[in-house]
Chain A
Amino acid sequence: MTKKSALILPSRSISRRDALKGIAAAGALSVAPGFVRYAQAQSSAPIKIGFQAHKTGIGAAYGRWYERTTAAAVKAINAAGGINGRPVEIITEDDGTDPKRGAEVVAKLTNQHQCDIVYGTLFSHVVVASAPVAGELKVPYFVVSEGYHVASGKMNRYCFQPGITDVRSQVTAMAPWVSGNLGKKVTMIYPDYAFGHDHRDYFAPAIKAAGGEVIAQIPIPPTESSFTKYFPQIPAETEVLYHVMVGPAVLTFVKELGEFYGSNKPQLFGFIDSLEAVDINSPGLEFLDGSHFWEGSPRYAQANDSEAMKAYRAAVGIDENGAADGDPKDVSTAAHMFGCWETLYVIKQAMEAAGYQGPADRAKLVEATEAIQGFDEGPEHPQGDKVFDGKLHQVYGHQNISKLEGGKLNVVHRTEIKDGMYEAEGDYTQQAL
């Protein structure tokens, strides 16, 4: 079955035929200044990147923004000459945010669409189910998930997370600043399942190392929709309330917490994951004013944004409040989606380093990716410079701590990369290619 997949552009797609016509035109006009040069490439056929996208299912809200960021990055890459002089073509397959379909999609993108690599997965359960297929097919698989799966050493040689830090690193990096600025005595409220347990397990030792302590841990059953009965468990001496509630009842949680505390509240610290793609000024969230959040990349434009960050935001099409240009209610998943942009530039860097020509060079691409040690801040990495652990296939970077004030999240601290480093638990380079 033939698919007319598309080169992605920001708000629309153009066909491969159009893209190739464009390349031909570029060749004909090769004396003109400012044209796109693809001429050096041995092959002018597009590099085909299979995009394993959550277009339906519970990940669809994220999938839409991952697509938008991907489209913007590919447009920028192609405008600058593509990869190794070849244009990039994105072929999107929906995985329904489902692990079984995720595994099928990796195989389909590889075998049927003949993609060079597979990229873009967000939800961890889809990554975990898909990575073995990528390993079997020996196709490089670049995820943008933030899960602690690649870094756990339990994926395989072909699975990378080079564009976004993992949750363990994020949580660990928060502790020194929380202890030094908000308070030493921390009570944690978290949903009682794996995600909440990650925060519990990684934050408690980190805050202890930073001179603070977790004085109470309050797990909330995932099916809970009213929280008032749990709040009396919060010790009176609590200085910082660390909250990572997620799901539809988050707004209720915040509202009830406000009713419980009134104006006399401890410092609040949370992860923006709780309110990703939600207007921070929604009724019910007033209680969060003055509280602090982790953000991977800031939702709101900052006064000191670099030129690279400004260009990135303009290319993706988000306004100063982090919502879609022209559609202010459509709040982006800004804290995570930058990972798509940066991952695509990592792919470009690794392919060019490997002299990648086609699927026969996949092993060389893996080795070239593993050889990368870090990235400088700039147009390709607008979120900031990063360290890449080639043995662990995981990237480490700066984290942002933002304060909600005046209806906006303003970055008040940027962690050091070393704040989020931990002892590696694996070495994929020992595995056969």
Chain B
Amino acid sequence: MTATTFSGRSFFLASIAAGATIIPRDAFAHASERGHVLLLPTGYYLLGGACAVIASFAILFFIRPAALEAYRAFRVPIARSPERLRFATSALSFCFFVLLVCAGFFGSPDPTHNPLPLTIWTLLWVGLLLAQGLIGNIWHWIDPWYAPCTTVNALFSRSEPKFNKEAASYLPALILFAGFVWFELIYIAPEDPPRLAFVVLAYWLITFVLALIFGHERWTRQGEFLTVFFTMIGRFGVLQPSTDGSGTIELRLPGAAVADAEPLPASGIAFLLANLAAVSFDGFSRTFVWLGSIGINPLEFPGRSVVIVPNTIGLGGAMIAFPIVFAILVRLGESFARTSAPRSVGLLAWSVVPIALAYHFAHYLTAFLVDAQAALIALSDPFARGWDLIGLSHRPLEAGIVMGHEAAWVLWNTIAAAIIAGHVLAVLIAHMLALRLYGDARTATISQLPLAMLMVGYTLLGLWLLSTPSAG
């Protein structure tokens, strides 16, 4: 490949440079932590990961359905769910949200010192999401719309409108979620505090109005994408509400509650797979392979503004392709097993939850370890006025925690383990769901062959994305 390969990029840049005629010449493509990973024997990890997923699939064939049923049914009552506290926790969350929005508008314009972008993109979108997956539905308690909606309903003596929970469509949530991931991954300045403050405030207000019109429960089930997604991921956690309606919180095995789920409609399948598609594409969009294919020199990545069009197409393509491929593979498996079940795609889609969780963890872990520190420091002085609210304002940021060979080794092994474990659990859950659908172990296993191959392929893809040369 020669320099002329990148003429497309030069054209874009020349356009942006508003008539400037010289070519920028930087050496600043940082060697970065990926450089250390490139020296690790990552090929063996890919091979080992694929073998582990294949082995787990094979082992399931020999496990009695009763053993899997025991995994699903295991539950230990912990306590009664303190639902009456939900108003208070939601109100506190709402107050925190208001503080954050004010900080976005009036605090530091620097996104690494302003608590709004650090809280939204790090503590919420990474930290809370992972906590949901490990623990359970924490978001239920800190949903910042519940208390305001409840208050308005009480003031005007309104009751929540009734709706048919069985016929719920996730289409509004899907559309809003697509907008959200575009803003996160493609828009040029998702971390800019005032712009983010405007966006999150607008989203809160729109959601608030729609929750009043359609009812808080209905809108957060179908339209408010954060609640929809957090609730889906929260099903993987070990603390789950009992299914008998007694209001008890039970200790379950990881992912067991996912196997209890009801089938999703088409819009729900697309929604659940959309995040996996988005995270996967975000990883892929940084690889030398993608950048080279769109005419971008990865050693002098020109900035987000230059790749808006190809990345929008790539992201959209991934979000459309994922559910289609998934549905085709489920139907293919049914044809192998000479069986079919209604809404099988919608039920088996739940098996993607641990993969989505693992990808999220692997994709964001390095940034989280540094940005979470920055978030806490920023929260200690949210308006950059010299405050020290939580005693962390003077704490130095330890960026070195993710730097160097040793850290790269630890991080790589951690995320590789997470990716492999996520896929093994996905195979397990898919098998439990298939047993529910098709009854006997043989049919379930044969029907799962195409999905199992997908899981193997996706393990390889995930590990490759995390070990291949990438920009930024």
Contacts and interface: CB of A to CB of B under 8 A. Distances in A.
A277 B3 contact: no
B13 interface: yes
Interface in A189-208: 191-195, 197-198
Interface residues of A, number: 92
A391 interface: no
B25 A148 contact: yes
11 contacts: A92-B113, A96-B304, A124-B24, A124-B25, A128-B17, A129-B18, A194-B23, A247-B469, A248-B32, A248-B34, A329-B407
Interface string A318-355: 00000110111111000000000000000000000000
A342 B298 CA distance: 31
A327 B470 CA distance: 26
A208 B357 CA distance: 58
A103 to B, nearest CB: 7
A195 B300 contact: yes
A125 to B, nearest CB: 4
Contact of B192 (A94, A123, A145): A94
Nearest to A21: B386
A134 interface: no
Interface string A359-401: 0000000000000000000000000000000000000000000
A251 B25 contact: no
Contacts of A92: 108-110, 113
B292 interface: yes
A301 B252 CA distance: 56
A180 interface: no
Q: Which 8 A-B pairs have the closest CB atoms?
A: A98-B303, A329-B400, A124-B24, A273-B27, A330-B400, A100-B305, A125-B24, A221-B1
B303 A221 contact: no
Given A132-B19, A329-B404, A283 B299 contact: no
A197 B305 contact: no
B6 interface: yes
A127 B289 CA distance: 28
A12 interface: yes
Contact of B26 (A147, A249, A252): A147
Contacts of B35: 247-252, 278
Given A55-B111, A252-B39, A247 B31 contact: yes
B297 A222 contact: yes
A252 B298 CA distance: 16
Range for the number of chain B residues in contact with chain A: 35 or more
Interface string A257-278: 0000000000000010111111
A229 interface: no
B38 A248 contact: yes
Given A57-B303, A93-B110, A99-B305, A223 B394 contact: no
Given A4-B383, A194-B25, 4 more contacts: A98-B188, A98-B302, A271-B27, A327-B399
B300 A1 contact: no
A225 interface: yes
Contacts of B31: 246-248, 250-251, 274-278
A225 B30 contact: no
B26 A123 contact: yes
Interface in B84-111: 105-111
Contact of A13 (B113, B189, B305): B113
Interface in A206-265: 219, 221-225, 244, 246-252, 255
Contact of A101 (B21, B189, B194, B289): B189
Interface in A126-167: 126-129, 131-132, 145, 147-149, 152, 154, 167
A342 to B, nearest CB: 19
B44 interface: no
Interface string A38-72: 00000000000000010111110110100000000
A154 B14 CA distance: 14
B124 interface: no
A181 interface: no
Nearest to B111: A94
Contacts of B304: 57, 96, 98
A131 B21 CA distance: 12
A330 B107 contact: no
A105 B26 CA distance: 20
Interface string B5-29: 1100000010011111111111111
Given A58-B471, A251-B36, A252-B38, A329 B401 contact: yes
A306 interface: no
Most chain A CB neighbours (cut-off 10 Å) among B25, B30, B39, B393: B25
Contacts of A127: 24
Interface in B366-405: 381, 383-386, 393-394, 396, 398-401, 403-405
B71 interface: no
B24 A247 contact: no
B21 to A, nearest CB: 6
B108 A5 contact: yes
A161 to B, nearest CB: 13
Interface in A1-38: 1-6, 11-15, 17-18
Interface in B174-207: 188-189, 191-192, 194
A246 B194 CA distance: 35
B301 interface: yes
Given A125-B302, A324-B400, A223 B1 contact: yes
B56 interface: no
Contacts of A6: 108, 113, 384
B399 A246 contact: no
A40 to B, nearest CB: 26
Contacts of A282: 36, 404-405
A101 B300 CA distance: 16
B460 interface: no
A107 interface: no
Contacts of A250: 31, 35
A99 B299 contact: no
Contacts of A13: 108, 113, 381, 384, 386
A195 to B, nearest CB: 5
Nearest to A15: B385
B81 interface: no
A91 interface: yes
Contacts of B1: 192, 221-224
Contacts of A329: 400-401, 403-404, 407
A187 to B, nearest CB: 19
Contact of A53 (B110, B188, B396, B405): B110
Contact of B2 (A1, A14, A192): A192
A59 B273 CA distance: 32
A251 B408 CA distance: 13
A4 B16 contact: no
B384 A15 contact: yes
A222 B26 CA distance: 13
Contacts of B109: 3, 5, 91-94, 113
A296 to B, nearest CB: 11
